[in-house]
Amino acid sequence: MPALHRSSLADDPIEQFGAWYQQAAAEASLVDAMALATVDADGAPDARMVLLKGFGPDGFRFFTNLGSAKAGQLEATPSAALILYWRELDRQVRIRGGVEKLPAADDDAYFSSRSRDARIGAWASPQSQPIADRGTLDARVTEAGERFAGEDIPRPEFWGGFLVRPERIEFWQGQAARLHDRFVYTRAGDGWEIQRLAP
């Protein structure tokens, strides 16, 4: 892969992320897949895959059931790490920062953009909770579908989004012999410091 040089990086990491994301969107099959890491009440790490649902100067967004394990962990400890890896480009981006709940208007706007089946699924699934079997889930989906037959499906109160406000963003470009190029942006006041890291 082409070498990554400091001179080719944007001064702002969100601008740099946007450039990499645009290329990944054209070449990678799972451009929005990202790992979300949190900690539980005992301080033990937890991680799962979620979907990036927007980014900008304020940070990186994702949505979930607010009764899920991840949402409970974020409420108790509002900080997280994200990783996006684009295999086709041999690139990854690591993000760490504080987390805050998105406003209801943002939740409503994104929820309304989802397919009808996905909206029904949000109502039907008691995410992270034990269920007896797949038949139980299927029955809940059928029930939710019948409940909203012929209607617009509103956003459940227990469903919403989070914003990760980055304090540190690392851009990693794979290279031969594991001599990868790594640059980290660290928030410094209103700006960012940029350093190259050893592979």
Q: Which domains does the chain have, with CATH numbers?
A: 6-197 (2.30.110.10)
The tokens for 179 are: 């001599």
Catalytic residues, by residue number, are 178
pLDDT on residue 1: 77
> Are β-strands 55-56 and 91-101 bridged in parallel, bridged antiparallel, or unpaired?
unpaired
The total of other beta-carbon atoms located within 10 Å of residue 197's CB is 12
Q: What is the pLDDT of residue 59?
A: 98
Instruction: Tell me what pLDDT residue 2 has.
Output: 85
Distance of CA 153 to the CA centre of its chain: 24
Average per-residue pLDDT for the chain: 96
Hunting for tokens 């700006």 — which residue is that? 191
pLDDT interval class at 141 (50, 70, 90): very high
Please tell me the distance from the alpha carbon of residue 71 to that of residue 88, in angstroms, as a whole number.
Answer: 31
The predicted model gives 125-129 an average pLDDT of 92
Does pLDDT of 38 surpass 90?
Answer: yes
Average pLDDT over residues 15-29: 97
Q: What three-state secondary structure class fits 198?
A: coil
Q: Are 97 and 166 in contact (CB under 8 A)?
A: yes
Mean pLDDT, rounded, for 120-146: 95
Query: How far is Cα 199 from Cα 197, in angstroms, rounded to an integer?
Result: 6
pLDDT tens for 167-195 read: 999 999 999 999 999 999 999 999 999 99
Nearest 10 degrees: Cα torsion 77, 81, 82, 85: -150
Q: How high is the pLDDT of residue 58? A: 96
How confident is residue 17, by pLDDT bands cut at 50, 70 and 90? very high
Mind listing the pLDDT tens digit for each residue in 113-125?
Answer: 999 999 999 999 9
pLDDT digits (tens, 9 = 90+) for 70-107: 999 999 999 999 999 999 999 999 999 999 999 999 99
Say what the pTM is.
0.94
Closest listed residue to residue 91, CA positions, set 166, 34, 151, 156: 34
